[in-house]
């Protein structure tokens, strides 16, 4: 069986570029026991893709010559696992490819919903990450001020909308005035501050007249450093990502860490969404209710074509996305 | 009423020096309603003294011309408060002085114990900080590995001994081989690593064959950065201080923050001992038991004479102390 894959031809040492990837036709081996053969419908594009190229994280590091790793929504074509049958829709730890063979233990059966893309956004890792991080680590109390960076990003759009739905004052941080307007006007944040504006620290202060109780940090670096100075005592930093550090080998750390954590008695806590798998049903129930009432909107940012995946990822790392970025590789099942 | 005080004549911009202080004879005002007049017996010397000169923390910043702030163990000479009578032993937020007038609300009556200095060390802020930070924030499980920096410091000596008493593998970090030997031989830590040794990171790795579950951080900076790389997933960083940052205006932050917190799902949490005041009785009960059985030893580092307080503080910031440093200003009450 032949398929197109996108291979990592070189591990980036600085900014990721399209030249780090190459499309190749590959012959897939025979499907073995405990495996499933799938066709890719939608691929999730994540900042974490870049982290996997940086070394081992909670997932194995990507090596030169590997097909690029991804989480994908797929249709099962053939199954040699008792857990799946042909026609199942699964979320799989797969690769950038039209078709793939995946160990059954790395696939999870999904419900067929009218909009399959929602399974990768609001009901997928993005929505669940926002929910679990905000609710279980941030522990917001109505009336508190919640700030989220990468506010127009896949997770940020849900963090802010969930915090609003929970009665908080919500301020986003994003790059560029157009993006900030979108966050406020489309998603209903109370304010959104453009970190590219040299005076953004003052703007942030003005937008948070009662200080900051929860900072949902998707970026790390200088933005974290600036926000730390505005945190209230006993504030919480939900450490979800450090996208500002992924694309460079010379990261520099916030100079006020751990000083601010000590003086303001802050709690900084990292997590990955799998840590809260036992609470996924609670998250989905809440998210479904909010989507039904319109309290949480689901922006769609879907790029067409496997061949456009490298550009889609690079664009994401440059902040070009609006909410969850997805690459469509195949049609929805009929 | 005349008394000697030590005044801050200049706020340090870099390393603290004796020239930042001057002894002055001062005339104290009349004692007012709600105040107590005390004579100082023992003064607590703390890294936090230096932080108070850096700006407002949880305590008001020290200004030029102020007598240096301190926590002191004092005997009440005269009281215009219904809460105290002459002869009471109190722990007071006072100043570096032979005698002082203190608002009664800034004093706390203490039990007379055979060794008054224990009220400033193991039963004082040092012991309670170690207990609350380790137990309530670190939450050790027997068999886990606990690392503590400034291991020979006022808090560190108790963190390590408490962790040992709770069944953990305990590794200290301290400056100089002599100090490290003292920590192991006198206090019973499993190992102590000398961070002045260029190969200390490897030594730390060898001393923690199962990784690090809890890091009780008294220093911040590069030591924190190094320890972060050795933390186990779901590890906890008890953020107690950043002494490496107090004595400088150009701190640089750990370059792996918040990256390591995200990837390893760490929790970093700051606290001050007052946050756990409601649990002080639990802490004291446990500490008294351990002192009685010899599981926790109380090293004494007492400098004689008010005039030696600046040198005692500077020495502490340079790491010359062994356990809690105290300045004796007056005799124990008869």
* A262/B240 touch (CB, cutoff 8 Å), yes or no: yes
The Cα–Cα gap between A209 and A194 comes to: 17
What residues in A contact B224, CB-CB < 8 Å? 258
What is the tens place of the pLDDT at every residue in A20-47? 999 999 999 999 999 999 999 999 998 8
What is the tens place of the pLDDT at every residue in A280-292? 999 999 999 999 9
Which of B52, B258, B266 should one mutate to test binding to chain A, selecting the residue with the greatest count of A CBs within 10 A? B258
Q: Angle at CA A66, nearest 5°, toward A65 and A71?
A: 155
* A253/B254 touch (CB, cutoff 8 Å), yes or no: yes
The Cα–Cα gap between B21 and B247 comes to: 16
A111 and A132 assigned to the same domain: no
Q: How many residues does chain B have?
A: 334
A93 and A141 assigned to the same domain: no
The Cα–Cα gap between A284 and A261 comes to: 33
What residues in A contact B217, CB-CB < 8 Å? 258
The Cα–Cα gap between A333 and B9 comes to: 79
H/E stretch holding B25 = strand B21-27
Is position B334 within any domain?
A: no
The Cα–Cα gap between B214 and B220 comes to: 14
CATH number at residue A133: 3.40.50.720
What residues in A contact B267, CB-CB < 8 Å? 267-270
What is the tens place of the pLDDT at every residue in A189-211? 999 999 999 999 999 999 999 99
CA nearest A249 in B: which residue?
B255
The Cα–Cα gap between A329 and A22 comes to: 16
Domain region containing B256:
125-277+283-292
The residue among A246, A270, A274 whose CA lies nearest residue A91 is: A274
Count of structural domains within chain B: 2
The Cα–Cα gap between A304 and A310 comes to: 12
The residue among A149, A124, A137 whose CA lies nearest residue A72 is: A124
Series of mean pLDDT values for 10-residue runs along chain A (334 residues): 95 92 96 97 92 75 94 97 97 97 96 92 95 98 97 96 98 97 98 97 98 96 95 97 55 85 95 93 97 96 98 93 97 90
* B253/A253 touch (CB, cutoff 8 Å), yes or no: yes
Is position A10 within any domain?
A: yes
What is the tens place of the pLDDT at every residue in A45-63? 988 898 888 876 667 789 9
Is position A333 within any domain?
A: no
Say what the ipTM of the complex is: 0.84
A2 DSSP assignment? E
* A242/B224 touch (CB, cutoff 8 Å), yes or no: no
CATH number at residue B15: 3.90.180.10
- Contacts of residue B278, Cβ cutoff 8 Å, sequence gap at least 6: none
Question: How close B214 gets to chain A, by Cα (Å)?
Answer: 14
CA nearest B250 in A: which residue?
A255
B99 and B140 assigned to the same domain: no
B87 and B138 assigned to the same domain: no
Question: How close A273 gets to chain B, by Cα (Å)?
Answer: 10
User: Which residue carries 């400088």 as its tokens?
Assistant: B248
Task: Reduce the DSSP state of residue B302 to 3 states and report it.
Answer: strand
Is position B324 within any domain?
A: yes
The Cα–Cα gap between B192 and B216 comes to: 14
The Cα–Cα gap between A322 and B252 comes to: 34
H/E stretch holding A270 = strand A267-270
The Cα–Cα gap between B325 and B314 comes to: 11
Read out DSSP for A47-74? HHHHHHTTS-SSSPPP-TTSBPEEEEEE
Contact B325, B45 (CB under 8 A): yes
A113 and A189 assigned to the same domain: no
The Cα–Cα gap between B329 and B314 comes to: 18
A204 and A71 assigned to the same domain: no
The Cα–Cα gap between A1 and A78 comes to: 12
Is position B184 within any domain?
A: yes
B133 and B272 assigned to the same domain: yes
The answer, as to whether pTM is greater than 0.95, is: no
Q: Which two tokens stand for residue B172?
A: 């200290």
A287 and A141 assigned to the same domain: yes
- pLDDT by residue, tens only, chain B of 334 residues: 899 999 999 999 889 999 999 999 999 999 999 999 999 999 999 888 988 888 766 677 899 999 999 999 999 999 999 999 999 999 999 999 999 999 999 999 998 888 999 999 999 999 999 999 999 999 999 999 999 999 999 999 999 999 999 999 999 999 999 999 999 999 999 999 999 999 999 999 999 999 999 999 999 999 999 999 999 999 999 999 765 555 444 457 898 999 899 989 999 999 989 899 999 999 999 999 999 999 999 999 999 999 999 999 999 988 899 999 999 999 999 8
Chain A residues with CB under 8 Å of a chain B CB are 51, 57-58, 217, 220, 224-225, 237, 239-242, 245, 251-272, 275
**Taking every pair of C-alpha atoms in chain B, what is the biggest distance, in angstroms?**
62
Distance, first Cα to last Cα, chain A: 23
The residue among A152, A155, A136, A144 whose CA lies nearest residue A187 is: A152
The rounded Cα B266 to chain-centroid distance in angstroms is 25
The Cα–Cα gap between A320 and B330 comes to: 68
Residue B74 β-bridge partners: B40, B90
A92 and A191 assigned to the same domain: no
The Cα–Cα gap between A148 and B131 comes to: 34
B172 and B97 assigned to the same domain: no
- Give the pLDDT confidence score for residue A60 in this predicted structure: 78
What residues in A contact B260, CB-CB < 8 Å? 270
A107 and A227 assigned to the same domain: no
Contact A160, A187 (CB under 8 A): yes
The Cα–Cα gap between B187 and A313 comes to: 54
B260 and B323 assigned to the same domain: no
Contacts A–B by Cβ distance under 8 A = 111
Task: Reduce the DSSP state of residue B225 to 3 states and report it.
Answer: helix
- Contacts of residue B30, Cβ cutoff 8 Å, sequence gap at least 6: none
The Cα–Cα gap between B195 and B201 comes to: 8
Is position A151 within any domain?
A: yes
Is position B333 within any domain?
A: no
Provide the b/e sequence for A77-93 (b: ≥16 CB within 10 Å). eebebeebeeebbbbbb
Is position B229 within any domain?
A: yes
Q: Strands A99-103, A107-109: parallel, antiparallel or unpaired by DSSP?
A: unpaired
- Give the pLDDT confidence score for residue A57 in this predicted structure: 64
The Cα–Cα gap between A245 and B214 comes to: 25
């Amino acid at each position: 069986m032949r398929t197109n894959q996108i291979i990592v031809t070189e591990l980036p040492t600085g900014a990721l570029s399209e030249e780090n990837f190459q499309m190749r036709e590959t012959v897939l081996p025979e499907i073995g026991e405990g495996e499933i053969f799938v066709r890719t419908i939608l691929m999730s594009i994540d900042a974490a893709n870049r982290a996997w190229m940086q070394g081992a994280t909670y997932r194995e590091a990507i090596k030169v010559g590997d097909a690029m790793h991804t989480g994908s929504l797929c249709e099962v074509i053939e199954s040699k696992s008792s857990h799946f049958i042909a026609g199942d829709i699964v979320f799989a730890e797969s690769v950038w490819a039209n078709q793939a063979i995946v160990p059954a233990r790395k696939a999870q059966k999904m419900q067929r919903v009218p909009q399959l893309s929602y399974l990768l956004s609001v009901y997928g890792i993005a929505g669940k990450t926002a929910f679990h991080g905000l609710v279980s680590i941030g522990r917001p109390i109505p009336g508190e001020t919640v700030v989220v960076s990468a506010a127009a990003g896949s997770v940020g759009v849900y963090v802010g909308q969930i915090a609003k739905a929970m009665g908080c004052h919500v301020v986003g941080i994003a790059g560029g005035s157009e993006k900030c307007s979108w966050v406020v006007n489309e998603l209903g944040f109370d304010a959104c501050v453009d970190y590219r504006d040299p005076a953004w620290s003052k703007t942030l202060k003005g937008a948070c007249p009662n200080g900051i109780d929860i900072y949902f940090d998707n970026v790390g670096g200088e933005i974290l450093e600036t926000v730390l100075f505005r945190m209230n005592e006993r504030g919480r930093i939900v450490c979800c990502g450090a996208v500002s550090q992924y694309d460079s080998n010379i990261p520099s750390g916030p100079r006020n860490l751990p000083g601010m954590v000590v003086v303001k008695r802050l709690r900084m806590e990292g997590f990955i969404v799998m840590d809260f798998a036992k609470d996924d049903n609670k998250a989905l129930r809440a998210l479904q209710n909010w989507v039904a009432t319109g309290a949480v909107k689901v922006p769609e940012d879907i790029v067409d074509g496997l061949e456009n995946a490298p550009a889609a990822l690079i664009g994401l790392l440059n902040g070009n996305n609006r909410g969850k970025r997805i690459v469509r590789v195949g049609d929805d099942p009929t």
